[in-house]
Chains A and B, each alone.
Chain A
Amino acid sequence: MLKWIRWSGLTGFIVVAGLLVCFWAFAAGPLIKMAIESFGSDAVGAKVEVEDVSFGFSPLSLNIRGVQITDPDAPMTNMVSFETAVANIEPFPLLLGQAIIPELSLEGVAMGTPRSVSGAIAKAKKPKEEDEKEDKPKAETGEAKADAKSSELPSADDILAREKLLTVERGEALETAYQQHSTAIEQAVADLPTESDIKQYEVKLNTILKGKFESLDDFKQRKKALDELKAQFKKDKQAIAAAKSAIKNGKSDLKQKWSDLKVAPKQDLDNLKSKYTLDGAGASNLTALLFGGDAGGYAATTLEYYEKIRPLLVDEEAKAEKEALKEKRLEGRFVTFPTDRPQPDFWVKKLTFTMSLPQFKGQPSLGQVAVNVTDISHQQDVVGQPTRLFANGVNLKNIQSLKVTGVMDHRQSPGKDVFDLQMEKWDLDKVKLGLAGLYMDEASAYAQGGVTFSQGKMDLSSNILFKDTTFSTKDRTMLAKEMDAALDKVSRFNVEVSADGKVTSPSMNIRSDLDKQLQSAFNDRIDEKQKELEADLKKKLNEKLLGYAGNYESQLKDMNLAEGNLSDATKKLESLAKSEMSSYEDQLKAEAKAKADKEAAEAKAKAKAEADKKKKELEKKAKEKLKSLF
């Protein structure tokens, strides 16, 4: 039996296998580090840095240290960073290229930590037009609708700076149109004859028309020159017509745009009044003014993080492409059988970490939250489970309990992500509100809410109950005093926040029974404030209009002047063009006639002289005969 064994082959095989293991032990760590940094940076769009990657063999585990994931929107800040990550790995699936991680635990997790060097990477800029196009001003009426980022205290300057004004838009359109027409007119005017050109035409015309033709050639040359001059006149007249047309079009367009601009301030004022109304019916906006800024800010931050994380968890496009490819290729397929041990390409069965809660209004962190995420995979259809999130507050300061749960279910398309929040007794202390220098000195907040994301849209509803509230203000204005007095009577109130629409630009609604409590107390003061605001807005909008008006008047004057100059030039050219030249034949005929007339006159004079001479001779003879008779 032993004669069948090739000992050298066995030795060679063991040596090769040993070399492979050694390579894996020493080179795999740096290779994985490079892979994480390279693919991670590509996926995030900013630098992903890893300090060190090492392997443990019993059990097979991966230890990653010092990971910093840069925030692509703020390259000097880390979106997420952690000190260590320990991942247990199942060895056999790794042979199939599948990373199955039963447990991944992170330590030292932090969000928004500063970086010592910029984490920006060069990349092609993505156009933002689509989002910008969709950010149209929303004129909401009736119930309090306030954009997530538009619920600050409304001063006239703030509103004018924040809102997209028709006055500015149309004013800019007028200026742009003037620039375009000016260019067109300048081009047309450049083709026109100048004063000196017209004088030269007169000189040429005089040269052509004055004096006798020396010969037939002379006549022909002059005729040719005259024809050329007339062709030039024709060309010049066409250029003048084109210039006139350009000026006419420009004037007409500018007049239309000016008419539109004149009515824009009124339309702007109407829009702004409906959006920022503080009258009795819309007094619920007060809640949005008080809390909208913070709510909008936190919502925006949360949504930004959600948008960054979502593509890393689920890549539906890649899944669809993979499915399409599977059908085309003749390479066989994997048949699946019922199992409680599914194997996707990547699967973190359990991720645990603890992180600090973000700071609130400059106060120290509210404590920590222990996060537990299960079944992280981009192939949830294979895993058969959605990704679930459980977060519980630990070592909380001023909060009795905090729970966040989430289910990100992408087993079927379209996927759906659902998050719920429950918070008990958050003791608030000196919370600055967004109006009249108001502070909520004390309150206990109880919040519960849920948000669903699906197909790029969100639907959020939440309820926050404020109990045992006390308020104060340092402002000495009438509004501040009145609000403070009214709020003294309020010990508890409820705030309902809801949002829906696209994840990138949700529309947020904030309602509260606080509004009802304060409504009657504020109607008078708010009316007054509203009038002041309206007057201020009107004044500033009119100032903008006047700014454009000055330009328009001078632009119109320039165009009228140019039009007058063109009319003069046209008249001169028409007068020159009427000049005609007689033919050489006519000149010869005239000369022959003059010669014949001259000869006839000479003959006539000669005949007359002879007749006179004969007459004198006859008279002389007659006299002599008479003398002889007497």
Chain B
Amino acid sequence: MLSMLAKFLKLLNGDAAPGQVAVGFAFALFWGLTPFFSLHNLIILLVVFITRTNLSAFFLGSALWALIAFLVDPFAIDLGEWLLASPDLQTTWTTMYQSDVWRAFKFNHTLLMGGFAISLVAFIPVYFLSFGLIKVYRHKVMAWFEKLKITKILKASKFYRVYEKLEG
């Protein structure tokens, strides 16, 4: 846990472009909130690899969203049920269901559909929110944080050694 927090802080304090980190967090939504062994996750991975997305942010974000998924899953399942049962979408789903390719994506799975919908909706807000927070953190919070007495105490702690190890 400490290691994860240290990685997170290293990422924030590093010189990676805020946009790349933010998009990593946003893509991580799909990995974290939908079932892991799904075809769309392979495509997300491909996209993350071939674009200049920050990979550390993506994998770290995936782990964080996967933790949050424990709380979100029941809601995601309900949302998936609702979407897949929605009368307005029945024609679309039925048409897609006739295709082996779409079925390979498991679009008719309630958790996957709900998780994917949440990820899709949250993608842009998470991107901008992360982007803004990283900028604010780097310009204001980081400098203020360095001056705090508690930061100095922390720097003498085990946590800081972990952080330093990652840094080095």
Q: In the complex, how many angstroms separate the beta carbon of A384 from the nearest chain B beta carbon?
A: 14
- Assess whether B112 is interfacial by the CB under 8 Å rule: yes
- Assess whether A359 is interfacial by the CB under 8 Å rule: no
- Assess whether B155 is interfacial by the CB under 8 Å rule: no
Q: In the complex, how many angstroms separate the beta carbon of A59 from the nearest chain B beta carbon?
A: 13
Contacts of A339 in B (CB 8 A): 94, 97-98
A335-B108 in contact given A92-B103, A330-B73 (Cβ < 8 Å):
yes
Of B46, B84, B104, the residue contacting A93 (CB under 8 A) is B104
Is B100's CB under 8 angstroms from A93's CB?
yes
A13-B108 in contact given A93-B100, A96-B103, A332-B80 (Cβ < 8 Å):
no
Contacts of A96 in B (CB 8 A): 103-104, 106
Stretch in contact with the other chain, from A3-11, A26-34, A509-517: A3-11
- Assess whether B77 is interfacial by the CB under 8 Å rule: yes
Contacts of B118 in A (CB 8 A): none
A343-B103 in contact given A330-B77, A335-B110 (Cβ < 8 Å):
yes
Considering only residues 1-45 of chain A, those with a C-beta below 8 Å from chain B are 3-6, 9-10, 12-13
- Assess whether B74 is interfacial by the CB under 8 Å rule: yes
Q: In the complex, how many angstroms separate the beta carbon of B107 from the nearest chain A beta carbon?
A: 9
Q: In the complex, how many angstroms separate the beta carbon of B116 from the nearest chain A beta carbon?
A: 11
0 or 1 for each of A325-347: is its CB under 8 Å from B? (1 = yes) = 00000111111111111010000
- Assess whether A95 is interfacial by the CB under 8 Å rule: yes
Please measure, in the bound complex, the distance between the C-alpha atom of A334 and the C-alpha atom of B93, giving whole angstroms.
12
Please measure, in the bound complex, the distance between the C-alpha atom of A340 and the C-alpha atom of B97, giving whole angstroms.
10
Considering only residues 479-511 of chain A, those with a C-beta below 8 Å from chain B are none
- Assess whether A90 is interfacial by the CB under 8 Å rule: yes
Is B97's CB under 8 angstroms from A337's CB?
yes
Is B50's CB under 8 angstroms from A333's CB?
no
- Assess whether B157 is interfacial by the CB under 8 Å rule: no
Is A331's CB under 8 angstroms from B111's CB?
yes
A92-B101 in contact given A10-B49, A330-B77 (Cβ < 8 Å):
yes
Of B50, B100, B114, the residue contacting A9 (CB under 8 A) is B50
Contacts of B53 in A (CB 8 A): 6
Considering only residues 269-288 of chain A, those with a C-beta below 8 Å from chain B are none
Q: Identify the closest chain A residue to B50 (Cβ).
A: A10
Contacts of A341 in B (CB 8 A): 98, 100
Q: In the complex, how many angstroms separate the beta carbon of A95 from the nearest chain B beta carbon?
A: 5
Please measure, in the bound complex, the distance between the C-alpha atom of A330 and the C-alpha atom of B110, giving whole angstroms.
11
Most buried by A among B45, B49, B81, B114: B49
Is A13's CB under 8 angstroms from B93's CB?
no
Name the interface size band of chain A. 20 to 34
Most buried by B among A13, A330, A335, A341: A335
Q: Is the interface of B mostly helix, strand, loop or mixed?
A: helix
Is A332's CB under 8 angstroms from B49's CB?
no
Contacts of A90 in B (CB 8 A): 100
- Assess whether B135 is interfacial by the CB under 8 Å rule: no
Please measure, in the bound complex, the distance between the C-alpha atom of A5 and the C-alpha atom of B47, giving whole angstroms.
9
Q: In the complex, how many angstroms separate the beta carbon of A102 from the nearest chain B beta carbon?
A: 12
Contacts of A91 in B (CB 8 A): 100
Contacts of B7 in A (CB 8 A): none
Contacts of A12 in B (CB 8 A): 49
- Assess whether B39 is interfacial by the CB under 8 Å rule: yes
Of A3, A4, A6, A330, the residue contacting B49 (CB under 8 A) is A6
Is B50's CB under 8 angstroms from A332's CB?
no
Q: In the complex, how many angstroms separate the beta carbon of A556 from the nearest chain B beta carbon?
A: 79
Is A13's CB under 8 angstroms from B50's CB?
yes
Contacts of B85 in A (CB 8 A): 335
Is A335's CB under 8 angstroms from B52's CB?
no
Is A337's CB under 8 angstroms from B104's CB?
no
Q: Identify the closest chain A residue to B81 (Cβ).
A: A335
Of A4, A10, A95, A330, the residue contacting B104 (CB under 8 A) is A95
Is A332's CB under 8 angstroms from B77's CB?
yes
Q: In the complex, how many angstroms separate the beta carbon of A364 from the nearest chain B beta carbon?
A: 48
Of A10, A92, A333, the residue contacting B100 (CB under 8 A) is A92
Contacts of B111 in A (CB 8 A): 331-332
0 or 1 for each of B1-45: is its CB under 8 Å from A? (1 = yes) = 000000000000000000000000000000000010001000001
Contacts of A5 in B (CB 8 A): 50-52
Q: Identify the closest chain A residue to B115 (Cβ).
A: A332
- Assess whether B138 is interfacial by the CB under 8 Å rule: no
Is B97's CB under 8 angstroms from A6's CB?
no
Is B49's CB under 8 angstroms from A9's CB?
yes
Of B74, B76, B90, B109, the residue contacting A334 (CB under 8 A) is B109
Since A6-B53, A9-B49, A332-B109 are in contact, a sample of 7 more A-B pairs with Cβ atoms closer than 8 Å, ordered by chain A residue number, is A9-B51, A13-B49, A335-B93, A335-B108, A336-B108, A338-B94, A339-B98
Closest 5 CB pairs of A and B: A332-B111, A9-B49, A92-B100, A337-B97, A332-B110
Binding site for B on A (CB under 8 A): 3-6, 9-10, 12-13, 90-93, 95-96, 330-341, 343
Q: Can you list 17 pairs linking A and B with CB atoms under 8 Å apart?
A: A4-B52, A6-B49, A6-B52, A9-B49, A9-B51, A13-B49, A93-B104, A96-B104, A332-B35, A333-B110, A334-B109, A334-B110, A335-B84, A335-B109, A339-B94, A339-B98, A341-B98
